[in-house]
Amino acid sequence: MHRLTAKFCETVKREGRHGDGGGLYLVVSGTGARSWMYIWQRDGKRHEMGLGSLRTTSLAQAREKARLARSDVAEGRDPRERYKARHKAPTFGECADALLAALTPTWSNEKHAQQWGGP
């Protein structure tokens, strides 16, 4: 565990995966882009989860995210579900409903709200 250093992460140019231990890897692409990845195995099948770019996620933050993911795996949960729930984008319909609800009070006639399918 904790085989990588912050200095190494910022300066490494060699393409590939560089392991920090415990399933956490720094992935360096052919273009030089660096990102974090957590890899685990369940039921004989390998799973991968991105943890963010090195520009936005420090080594310490990546280690904390990997720690949380390891605890999810140990408890039988898929760690990707934690991030899906936190980063769920609203649907088009939800955005449209919110916009209509916000605009309805500004309309001069109730018929406008009915025409647009508002509340």
b/e 69-96 (16+ beta carbons within 10 angstroms → b): bbebbeeeeebeebeeeeeeeeeeeeee
User: Domain segments of the chain: what residues?
Assistant: 6-86, 89-119
Q: Which helix (H) or strand (E) holds 45?
A: strand 45-53
pLDDT at 101: 87
More confident residue, 85 or 35: 35
With a threshold of 0.85, does the pTM exceed it?
Answer: no
Q: Which of 46, 47, 2, 54 is nearest to 26 (CA)?
A: 54
Q: Tell whether domain 6-86 is in CATH 3.90.1640.30.
A: no
The token duo for 22 is 């415990």
Long-range contact list for 74-81, CB < 8 A, 24+ apart? 78/47, 79/38, 79/40, 79/49, 80/47, 80/49
If you average pLDDT over every residue of the chain, what do you get? 91
What count of residues does the chain have? 119
